[in-house]
Structure 1
Amino acid sequence: MSKFGLFGKFTVKEGLRNTLVDILLEAAESMQNLEECEIYLVNISDDEPNSVFVYEVWSNENAHKASLSLEATQTLIRRAKPIITGMERISTLKPMGGKGILN
Structure 2
Amino acid sequence: MRVKPGHRDEVVATLVGGADGLKAAGCDLYVVGTSDTDEDTIWVHEVWASRQAHDDSLQLPEVKAAIARTMPLLTGEFTSQELDIAGGLGVPTDQ
TM-score (norm 2): 0.89
Q: Per chain length, whose mean CA-contact separation is higher, i.e. which structure has more relative contact order (CA < 8 Å, sep 6+)?
A: 1
1-structure distance, mates of 2:50, 2:62:
20
**1:33 maps to amino acid:** A
Off by >3 Å, runs of 4+ in structure 1: none
1:96 to 63, 86, 92: 86
Distance 1:43 1:57, change over 3 A: same
1:35-66 Cα distance to aligned partner (Å, 9 max, x none): x2100100001232101110000011111111
Alpha-carbon offset, residue 86 of structure 1? 2.0
1:29 aligns with 2:20: yes
- Please show how residues 78-97 of structure 1 align to structure 2 within 5 Å: 78-97=68-87
What SS does the aligned partner of 1:57 have? Answer: strand
- Greater percentage in strand: 1
- Please show how residues 65-84 of structure 1 align to structure 2 within 5 Å: 65-84=55-74
Structure 2, unmatched stretches of 5+, are: none
Alpha-carbon offset, residue 26 of structure 1? 1.4
1-structure distance, mates of 2:24, 2:57:
12
What SS does the aligned partner of 2:79 have? Answer: strand
Aligned residues: 93
Q: Among the aligned pairs, what percent are the same residue?
A: 32
What SS does the aligned partner of 1:12 have? Answer: coil
| Aligned CA-pair RMSD | 1.2
